Chain A
């Protein structure tokens, strides 16, 4: 196996650690590339199709390279009730991308997720794991502008 994926040994060889292995890949590389699929299949002695089947089942795994900042707009019940679809719409207008897409500078990726566990601050979003709550249009756009300014 190429040394690029040597870290897979952290997950052990057991097939029950396949998901762990994929999570390691995603953590290190940001997404699951075709090369990663074949490396993982080799590591766990499985077929690539089996690995692909598991990857496609779980929403967490991304097959495309994400931007520098991963924007997750919560669309859990509490946030939905509090207008998360509008938040997502405003972000889409500001960045020119829909959920599932990455902007042309590869700076922002947008996705919607179901509940970040901060429902009492709804509507919320997270950027690379940092949670922002009680969003309105002005606040949301300011946050995006700040991130863009910092590159």
Chain B
């Protein structure tokens, strides 16, 4: 492995000052994306800044009536096992359990999954289906960005060099949701297509339809959501197929991806709208 320096700051302020003084530094959370990329020679950071000693980034708590605040360093294993998440947002536990293997889930963090900005990141479709907001430490201040405005391209986000994702906020968990990760292998595989459908549990359903791995970023499909709110499931599926811009890669061809979106959206919609 290439050589790099290592920093282990104890606070957010200290982290930003390290980042300011070391423009080539990169944040290190669980390392399960970044250490692989370093090994494969895809990036050559001069310094890794390990944020795991920063206590504010840990922990899961409830906010407002139905909301959740999930610290950026929450591991995938914690998402699988934590009672607050399991009770209030079981789809996120299920998505986390579908990821990688236990050895990786014990290290990998939700913040790393989001910040890494893979179009196939498995926690993202459920988070988008709950209108999650990202809490970001920027210029000694905290700001909030809707997750739908966070991703700009594969691996690219609106996050600036010295900004830190501190938490993921789910303002209202009163939704029923279903995530389907379509893979070619049963375990240890990245999503070929990911589909998450959700609706409010009370009042008008206000559905969400989110697709992963079929466009440069995970996408919401407002046209499909509109059809679902009118009870038109077949039309919603067709709208989702139309919205997708998949590519050919080792996991699946673009046309295969297009073909499976329809039945996946249908299955997820029935799961969520079934009485």
Real complex partners, A and B?
no
Partner-B contacts on A (CB < 8 A): none
